[in-house]
């Protein structure tokens, strides 16, 4: 278990587990945060954890006059473990909020252990279609996106660039299926082939890439997060596709993978709701302070996790720390009236963000660092497709 109580007073940080706080506000705001902190994808969890800790520092460790305690739990990259850790946070630790969740299958397994059980559930990454639609719940909010939206933006980019045919590759799990559905929903050209590969074990894509090369597709669309994405890019070059068949990706090229990919990814295009160069004061401070704290550019995983804390703070502040006022906290969160790194946005009826999506390009700075820059706005104030299925 990774447990960290984050309580800051008068601008000084104090980190300790299970600390009792004195005074009229003796009970802290307890936030459980589930992410991957061991095994391969722990690099993603590290970015999320660092961003949560930075956010708590930025707010002085206080919400609604109360200290803040964050309990980090490791899902081990497995739905069953994520569910167990979620239940522990709700039943044993009695947290007020549960945040985090990288993986859609982990969130889906854990979902009913939170909603309707007392705490609010804030997804800091995963956005499965089921939760955006028929399984929507008043106690669930997202600080990221619904899975289909980012590839829907990429489908529109393919249309704008006149790509007539594409070969699609993605892993065969909840998010992978949503990514494929998203690009298929907006792309108007011909899909000449499609492979849903094994997840999470498959890291050899040579057979599928050979099929993509033989298909004659004008471009390839791929979704491979984490280590799988690094392997995919390397094998794309080995298969002789780089420089011949343009590659368009989502959630594959980011601040985590770029230092590993280096020049392989320079010039590659992806879509995303957030970029480190977004021109607003909150984002500028977040990026600068995150980089100063960690020595790394923040990933979108970090940006979404930072926003998770700020969303929770807006709820607790609105009720002056009265955590029994769930209606008041819910109403405050629905306003999305907090300092977000993405700038101003709103929530749909399903509590998924309505927000802009951008095309971004990977590049190498004059200082030799790899990062991304905004190329264009693809969608403005975009709402996910499944909101119409939500009865809230």
Within a domain: 368: yes
Considering the domain architecture, whether residues 372 and 309 belong to the same structural domain is answered as no
pLDDT number for residue 18: 36
Cα distance between the two ends of the chain: 35
Is 215 strand, coil or helix?
Answer: helix
pLDDT number for residue 7: 44
Considering the domain architecture, whether residues 233 and 375 belong to the same structural domain is answered as yes
pLDDT tens, residue by residue, 310-353 = 999 999 999 999 999 999 999 999 999 999 999 999 999 999 99
Considering the domain architecture, whether residues 155 and 100 belong to the same structural domain is answered as no
Spatial neighbors of 304 by CB under 8 A, at least 6 apart, are: 48, 124, 125, 143, 144, 274
Q: Examine the pLDDT at 5 and tell me if it is beyond 90.
A: no
Considering the domain architecture, whether residues 221 and 334 belong to the same structural domain is answered as no
| Host domain of residue 42 | 5-145+278-351
Q: How many domains does the chain have?
A: 2
Is 250 strand, coil or helix?
Answer: coil
Going by pLDDT thresholds of 50, 70 and 90, the confidence category of residue 17 is: very low
- Please report which residue ranges of the chain form alpha helices under DSSP H: 42-58, 79-91, 104-110, 129-132, 149-160, 174-186, 206-215, 227-238, 258-261, 281-294, 300-318, 326-334
Q: What is the arithmetic mean of pLDDT over 223-243?
A: 94
- Tokens 């969130």 belong to 107
Considering the domain architecture, whether residues 113 and 167 belong to the same structural domain is answered as no
Considering the domain architecture, whether residues 33 and 164 belong to the same structural domain is answered as no
Rounded distance between C-alpha atoms, residue 110 and residue 89, angstroms: 11
Considering the domain architecture, whether residues 180 and 104 belong to the same structural domain is answered as no
Considering the domain architecture, whether residues 90 and 196 belong to the same structural domain is answered as no
- CA neighbours closer than 13 Å in the CB half-sphere of residue 387: 17
Burial string for 226-248 (b: 16+ CB within 10 Å, else e) reads bbbbbbbbebbeebebbeebbbb
User: Mean pLDDT in the chain?
Assistant: 93
Q: What is the arithmetic mean of pLDDT over 57-64?
A: 98
Within a domain: 389: no
Considering the domain architecture, whether residues 139 and 200 belong to the same structural domain is answered as no
Spatial neighbors of 350 by CB under 8 A, at least 6 apart, are: 131, 132, 133, 136, 384, 386, 387, 390, 392
- Domain of residue 66, CATH code: 3.40.50.2300
Considering the domain architecture, whether residues 266 and 177 belong to the same structural domain is answered as yes
């Amino acid at each position: 278990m990774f447990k960290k109580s984050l309580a800051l007073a008068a601008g000084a940080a104090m980190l300790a587990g299970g600390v009792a706080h004195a005074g009229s506000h003796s009970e802290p705001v307890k936030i459980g945060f589930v992410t991957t902190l061991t095994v391969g994808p722990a690099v993603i969890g590290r970015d999320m954890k660092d961003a949560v800790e930075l956010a708590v520092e930025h707010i002085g460790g206080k919400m609604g006059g109360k200290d803040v305690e964050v309990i980090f739990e490791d899902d081990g990259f497995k739905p069953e473990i994520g569910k167990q850790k979620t239940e522990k946070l709700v039943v044993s630790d009695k947290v007020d909020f549960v945040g985090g969740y990288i993986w859609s299958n982990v969130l889906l397994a854990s979902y009913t252990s939170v909603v309707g059980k007392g705490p609010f559930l804030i997804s800091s990454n995963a956005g499965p279609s089921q939760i955006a639609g028929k399984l929507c719940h008043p106690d669930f909010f997202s600080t990221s996106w619904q899975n289909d939206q980012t590839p829907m933006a990429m489908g529109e980019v393919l249309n704008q660039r006149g790509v007539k045919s594409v070969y699609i590759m993605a892993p065969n799990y909840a998010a992978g299926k949503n990514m494929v559905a998203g690009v298929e929903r907006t792309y108007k050209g011909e899909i000449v082939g499609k492979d849903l590969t094994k997840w999470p074990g498959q890291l050899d894509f040579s057979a599928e890439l050979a099929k993509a090369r033989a298909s004659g597709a004008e471009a390839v669309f791929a979704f491979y997060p984490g280590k799988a994405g690094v392997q995919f890019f390397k094998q794309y070059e080995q298969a002789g596709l780089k420089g011949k068949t343009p590659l368009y990706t989502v959630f594959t090229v980011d601040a985590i993978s770029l230092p590993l990919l280096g020049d392989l990814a320079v010039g590659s295009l992806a879509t995303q709701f957030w970029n480190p160069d977004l021109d607003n004061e909150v984002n500028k401070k977040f990026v600068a302070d995150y980089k100063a704290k960690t020595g790394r550019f923040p990933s979108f995983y970090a940006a979404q996790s930072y926003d998770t804390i700020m969303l929770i703070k807006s709820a607790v502040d609105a009720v002056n720390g009265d955590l029994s006022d769930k209606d008041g906290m819910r109403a405050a969160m629905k306003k999305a009236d907090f300092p977000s790194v993405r700038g101003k946005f709103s929530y749909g009826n399903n509590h998924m963000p309505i927000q802009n999506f951008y095309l971004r390009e990977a590049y190498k700075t004059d200082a030799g660092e790899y990062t991304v820059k905004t190329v264009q706005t693809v969608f403005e104030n975009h709402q996910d497709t499944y909101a119409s299925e939500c009865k809230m």
